[in-house]
Amino acid sequence: MARYFIGIDVSTTASKALVIDEQGEVITSQSYPHELSTPRPLWSEQDPEEWWRATSQALRDVLKRVSPDEVAAVGLTGQMHGLTALDAQGRPLRPAILWNDQRSGPQCEAITEKVGAKRLYQIIGSILPPGFTAPKLVWMREHEPELYRQIAHVLLPKDYIRYKLSGAYVMDVTEGSGFGAMDIGKRAWSDEMLAALDIPRAWLPELCESTDVSAYVSQAGAEATGLRPGTPIVGGAGDQPAGGVGNGIVSMGQCSLTVGTSGVAYAVSDRYTPEPNGRLHTFCGPIPGTWFHMGVMLSAAGSFRWLHDEILAGRSYDELNQMAASVPYGSLGLLFAPYLTGERHPHTDPLARGAFVGLTLRHSLPHLVRSVMEGVAFGMRDLLELLRGLGVRPAEAVVSGGAANSPIWRQIVADVMGIPLYTVNTSEGGAFGAAILGAVGVGAWPDVPSACAQMVRRVDTIAPEDPGIDSYNRLYPAFRGLYPALKPTFNALVEFES
C-alpha cells in the first residue's frame, strides 16, 4: 500500500493541506483563505475557528485524492507567535493576536527592564519584540482582565489545529522558542521567565521535538476532517523552520532568504550561540540537537503587495515587473524604507514606518516599483549582514517567496546580496517541510537531512552581476542611514494615527 504524508500550514492568509509520497512528490494540495482583522492601528487579529474551518475543508478535499488509510502521518506548521488563549473547555476567549501585531510594545519594555536586557536575550535567544506571544499575554492581563482570568490554555495557531484534531495541548520547541518564555539553550520552559512574566506554567502546553509523534487524530477530529482515527500527528515546526526544512536548509553553512509577506534570513547552527546584542532570533531547530538563527523584516513582499493594491491595482504583477526592469540600478536615487508594519530586525521598533526618500520630478511609477523591490532587498541584506557577523558566510542561498516568482526581483536580490541564489523543486515551503517532518517522525526516513537529500532538489541559479553589485554596494550605506535619520519623525507621527 502506498504511504502518504500530509503537511498542514496555517498561514496568515490561508490554511493549506499538502500531500506528498515517500519520494517527496506532491500528490495534491488545497487551501482556503482566512480573513485578517485590524480593528485598531498596530493591531492584527484572526478568529481561530476560521483556521479550523479552513483546515477541515482543505483536508476533506485532499482526502478525495488519497485514502485516509494510506496517510501515515500529519505534520503541522503555521504562522508563529499568534496568541490563542483558550478557556477550560478549549474555546477561544478572543480573536488570536498575531505575529505582526504591535500593541504590546510597552509590555516588552517593562519585561526587558524587569529581567535585564542582556539576561533576557541570553535566555530567550533574542530581544523581546511585540510580535512574541508572552508580552501579548501581559497586555491581556492589563487591558482585558476579565478574559485573562478565564484563561486555562495558551496555544499558537498550528497547535490549535493539533488540539482540534486530537484534544492534545502540545507545542514543538521551534514554536515555543518564539513565545518569549523558553530557555532556548535547554529546550525547555524557563522558570525564571515565567516568574518574571507571572504566567502560570499550567497554561502552557507540553513541549516536543519537531520529529516527535505528539498526538493522534481523535474520533471527533476524524469526523471533522476525514482523517483516520489514530493517525499520528508529528510535532512539526513554525513556518520559518518548516520552510527551512522544505528548502533543504539542514546543515551549517546553508542559508535561505524567504521574501514572502515578511522577509526571513535563516541559517542552521549546531550549538546555541545567540547574537551578542539579541538582534537576531536564535531558536531551537526542527532537527533535535540543533538551533537556527533567523532575522525577520516584517514587510517584504507585503510592501510590494501594498504598492500593487493601493497604487497600481489596475496593473498585473507582470506589468510591474516590466516597469522595474525599465529603470536603472538605484531608481535614479530613490530609496524605499520598507517598514510599513514596524520592524523587527535589525531595528526592533513597532513605530517604524515606510517612506520614499529622494523623490524628484524625474521619478515616475516605474521608479517607485523598482525602489520598493530594492528597498526590500536592502532590508534582507541587513539580515544577512547580521548572520555574517555571527560567522555565517554562505557562498550561496536558497530564495523563495514572492521575490522568487519575479525574474527582475530575483536578480535585484542576488545583486544586493552579492552571492548566487537558487530555487528548489517546490514552492510549497512550510507545508512541504511539515510533511517531511511527518515522514521522519513515523520512520519513513531515518532523519531530516536524509529525507531532504532525496526530496529537495536545486532547480535554477541566479548569479549576481557585477554592475548591480557595484551600484548596490555604493547605495547600501545610504539605505542604512534611513532608519536612524527617520526614527524621530516616526515617533512624532504616533499621535496622528488614532
So what's the pLDDT on residue 498?
62
So what's the pLDDT on residue 426? 83
- The question of whether 239 is a catalytic residue gets the answer yes
pLDDT of 198 reads 96
- Position with higher pLDDT, 100 vs 366: 366
pLDDT score of 495: 83
Distances (CA, A) of 80 to 180, 224, 338: 12, 24, 21
pTM: 0.90
pLDDT of 371 = 98
241-293: pLDDT as tens digits = 999 999 999 988 899 999 988 899 999 999 999 988 888 999 999 999 999 99
Q: Which of 159, 183, 239, 349 does the annotation list as catalytic?
A: 239
What CATH superfamily is the domain 4-240?
Answer: ATPase, nucleotide binding domain (3.30.420.40)
CATH number of 248-428+465-498: 3.30.420.40
Phi, psi of 241 (to 5 degrees): -65, -35
Residue 276: predicted pLDDT: 87
Give percent above pLDDT 90 in the chain: 89
The mean per-residue pLDDT over the stretch 409-414 comes to 97
**What pLDDT was estimated at residue 41?**
83
3-state secondary structure of 351: coil
Strands 4-10 and 71-78: parallel
Query: Is the pLDDT score of 7 beyond 70?
Result: yes
* 4-240 and 248-428+465-498 in the same fold: yes
Burial of 280 (0-12, 13-18, 19+ CB in 10 A): buried
Domains of the chain, by residue range, sit at 4-240, 248-428+465-498
146-203: pLDDT as tens digits: 999 999 999 999 999 999 999 999 999 999 999 999 999 999 999 999 999 999 999 9
Report pLDDT digits (tens) over 438-489: 999 999 999 999 999 999 999 999 999 999 999 999 999 999 999 999 999 9
Q: Give mean pLDDT, residues 327-337.
A: 98
How high does pLDDT run on average in the chain? 95
CA distance from start to end of the chain? 60
pLDDT of residue 410: 96
pLDDT of residue 1: 58
